[in-house]
């Protein structure tokens, strides 16, 4: 394991939900595993007037009841900070100097923006004006949470502003999906096995399908979600990043530059969808009221904070192509939505069927294509589906499963996404972080969809009852086939799961 340099992590927005629910628990897990630097401190910063002890008390409810918690909390400090003027950051600068001196920590700083996007330009500017953004002797890094803009223009503007104060090599745009162990394992599955990579192309693959389903609705976040929607919230970032990992060419070496270069080539090869063809390639939906397990479930427009006439999509399914030598004319299908039957994210590689009909017997099982299912969450693992002879007379064929589950590994800890990503940034490894040009290329692909919806208010948005797999129209995207219906458990496939 690479030795991590001594440093201080400064979390802006430290009194917010993300810090308490994700960041502090992830840091505690790294602490328990002895993966934090020898000398390390966390400085929370936000407008709330808290003391060190009050901050420690606030995060306590999100930590386990263990003896080590008391020792971990000694690493946590807090500094109230306003974000209006240059002088507002002088107390922060003094506190950092004091912590470095008192704890004998080198002045290596990571600044984490766990704040509203409106502060993504403000905080870096104030850091720069106070000479905190760069140093000739120590590293300075900036972690930015999504959204990285709301369209192509705003993404370009954000990148330009960030680069005024930090170099690209200092900026870590965090996408927690890339921190999941199974996403990273996709690279190993592809590039370390001679049985997969030779088949990973248009000659053997019929289609690729990616699903990211949530069983929950907007859960009180209707005011935010109604200005976002499934396209901006999930598809443009998380799902297209997964597409990049599935479709990329082998990198020359396993490092940040090589891997991100290859994923960006994928984004640059995405076939543009003309605005007048959006209806043929994109299905958007919105969940309606229904009854699940004999309980009435409100529709999206009935959620608090949502416009009763809202046309914000809670579901989107998309068909597209990647115009390069490897993937020419292989359709990719991605879908994501809220209030679907189960919470699951997975990638399905559908291989082409055999060219002969040796074992056709009127049984559809015989013609089922081989599938490789890479489960991102939950029940993380890999499932391979292939045909085997049914015992007995004749040559009846049935589909069987060969599966691997991470839970089968004993004495092995599968790190949470934020654990892995925070540790990577501490060590200066940006492999699993999005790069500015990649973010812009992803927005460039989805911008025509945004334009079509804005310019054609009558473009359909289909209703689907909460607890179902989205609008019926989404099933028509895949000709002569259908989406896989995943269940909570990886191997319980092909069933129509219920909430």
Cβ atoms of 174 and 144 within 8 Å: the answer is yes
Give the bridge partners for 77, in sequence order. Answer: 43
Q: Is the dihedral of CA 283, 285, 291, 292 positive or negative?
A: positive
Q: Which of 176, 238, 281, 350 is catalytic?
A: 238
Nearest to 103 by CA among 43, 56, 20: 43
Cis ω for the linkage preceding 259 (within 30 of 0):
no
Cβ atoms of 377 and 185 within 8 Å: the answer is no
Quick one: CA torsion of 405, 407, 413, 417, rounded to 10 degrees? 60
Question: What are the φ/ψ torsions at residue 344 (nearest 5 degrees)?
Answer: -160, 145
Cβ burial of 324 (10 Å; 0-12, 13-18, 19+) is middle
Is residue 238 annotated as part of the catalytic site, yes or no? yes
Cβ atoms of 208 and 333 within 8 Å: the answer is yes
- 45 SS3 class: strand
- 438 SS3 class: helix
Give the bridge partners for 315, in sequence order. Answer: 285, 337
Question: Which active-site residues does the annotation give?
Answer: 238
């Amino acid at each position: 394991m690479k030795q991590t340099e001594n440093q201080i992590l400064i979390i802006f927005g430290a009194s917010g939900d993300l810090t308490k629910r994700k960041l502090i628990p992830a840091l505690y897990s790294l602490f328990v595993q002895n993966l934090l630097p020898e000398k390390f401190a966390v400085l929370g910063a936000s407008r709330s007037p808290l003391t060190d002890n009050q901050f420690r008390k606030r995060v306590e409810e999100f930590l386990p009841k263990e003896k080590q918690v008391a020792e971990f909390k000694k690493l946590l400090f807090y500094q109230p900070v306003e974000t209006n003027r240059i002088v507002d950051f002088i107390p922060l600068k003094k506190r950092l100097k004091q912590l470095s001196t008192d704890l004998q920590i080198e002045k290596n700083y990571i600044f984490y923006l766990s704040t509203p996007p409106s502060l993504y330009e403000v905080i870096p500017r104030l850091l720069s004006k106070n000479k905190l953004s760069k140093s000739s002797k120590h590293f300075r890094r900036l972690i930015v949470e999504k959204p990285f803009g709301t369209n192509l223009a705003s993404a370009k503007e954000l990148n330009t502003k960030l680069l005024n104060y930090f170099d690209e090599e200092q900026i870590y745009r965090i996408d927690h999906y890339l921190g999941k162990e199974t996403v990273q394992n996709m690279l190993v599955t592809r590039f370390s096995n001679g049985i997969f990579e030779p088949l990973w192309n248009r000659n053997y693959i019929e289609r690729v399908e990616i699903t990211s389903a949530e069983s929950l609705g907007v859960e009180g976040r209707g005011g935010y979600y109604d200005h976002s929607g499934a396209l901006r919230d999930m598809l443009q970032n998380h799902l297209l990043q997964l597409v990049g990992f599935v479709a990329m060419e082998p990198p020359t070496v396993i490092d940040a530059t090589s891997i991100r270069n290859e994923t960006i080539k994928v984004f640059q090869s995405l076939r543009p969808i003309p605005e007048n063809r959006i209806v043929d390639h994109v299905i958007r939906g919105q969940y309606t009221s229904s009854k699940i397990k004999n309980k009435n479930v409100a529709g999206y427009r009935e959620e608090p904070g949502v416009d009763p006439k809202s046309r914000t999509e809670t579901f989107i399914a998309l068909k597209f192509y990647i115009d390069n030598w490897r993937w020419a004319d292989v359709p990719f299908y991605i879908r994501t939505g809220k209030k679907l039957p189960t919470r699951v994210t997975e990638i399905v590689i559908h291989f082409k069927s055999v060219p002969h009909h040796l074992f056709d017997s009127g049984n559809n099982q015989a013609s089922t294509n081989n599938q490789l299912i890479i489960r991102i969450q939950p029940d993380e693992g890999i499932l391979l589906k292939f045909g085997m002879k049914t015992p007995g007379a004749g040559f009846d064929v049935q589909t069987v499963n060969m599966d691997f589950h991470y839970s089968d590994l004993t004495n092995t800890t599968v790190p949470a996404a934020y654990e892995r990503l925070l540790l990577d940034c501490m060590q200066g490894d940006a492999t699993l972080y999005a790069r500015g040009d990649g973010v812009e290329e992803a927005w460039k692909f989805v911008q025509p969809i945004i334009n079509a919806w804005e310019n054609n208010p009558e473009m359909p948005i289909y209703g689907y009852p909460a607890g179902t797999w989205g609008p019926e129209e989404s099933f028509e995207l895949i000709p002569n086939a259908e989406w896989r219906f995943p269940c909570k458990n990886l191997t319980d496939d092909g069933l129509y799961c219920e909430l």
